[in-house]
Structure 1
């Protein structure tokens, strides 16, 4: 599980990562990443009603949190990541979400590091 200290919670943090950061999209999700230079790596999740009802949205969020828990320590220091789920995430297999998250994170980190 993603540690509480690693979760983005403030609206300003989400806006900052999404507006000033770089992004990489895949069929099921879009990753926004901003490199702030802080020591802490943090992640947040945006799952809109377009993904589905409350049960579906919560399932998608739980899956994304579990996937990010394994990956957050491999991100550059000071990373602020927002993972935005797209409607196709509702029907995606866990392995598909994992693969697309890895691809999008890798692409976004490369763009942000330039």
Structure 2
């Protein structure tokens, strides 16, 4: 799964105002129209992570980000092909178990696929 890198890409996803959430994670998503979005003509799924200082210190935030990357990689095939997802951690994500985050990510990615009308 590729990564969202620029501020412009993050803002494009967040401006769509499409999101699904659970107790520890909020997933903002956007299905790109690759014809008009010339920045990414590959049609691949992209992931962005937003973990604020409210979650914890740098060690805790990096742990949460590593967990999110592993889980997103695990469930990426659930998403539509040209989908951008920003996973935003709630402060409670710092204390959540990996199994809990795994279940939440699975549910959120299935909800995104259902709402986005996966082809």
Aligned to 2:102: 98
Aligned counterparts of 1:22 and 1:109: Cα–Cα separation in 2: 12
Question: What TM-score does the superposition give when structure 2 sets the normalisation length?
Answer: 0.85
Unmatched runs of 5 consecutive residues or more in structure 2:
35-42
Moved over 6 A (4+): none
Conserved? CA contact 1:42–1:72, under 8 Å: no
- For this pair of structures, how many residues does the alignment match? 110
Q: Any idea what the Cα deviations from partners look like across 1:35-70, whole Å, max 9, x if unmatched?
A: 003311101100000100000000000000011111
Alignment equivalent of 1:28, drawn from 24, 28, 52: 24
Question: What TM-score does the superposition give when structure 1 sets the normalisation length?
Answer: 0.89
- Structure ID, larger Rg: 2
What is the DSSP-based 3-state SS (H/G/I as helix, E as strand, rest coil) of the residue aligned with 1:80? strand
- The offset of 1:110, in angstroms, is 1.9
Alignment equivalent of 1:16, drawn from 12, 18, 21: 12
Conserved? CA contact 1:28–1:85, under 8 Å: yes
Pair 1:73 & 2:77 matched: yes
| CA root-mean-square deviation | 1.5
Going by fraction, where is helix more abundant, 1 or 2? Answer: 1
Unmatched runs of 5 consecutive residues or more in structure 1:
none
Conserved? CA contact 2:26–2:87, under 8 Å: yes
Q: Any idea what the Cα deviations from partners look like across 1:62-86, whole Å, max 9, x if unmatched?
A: 0000111112233111100000000
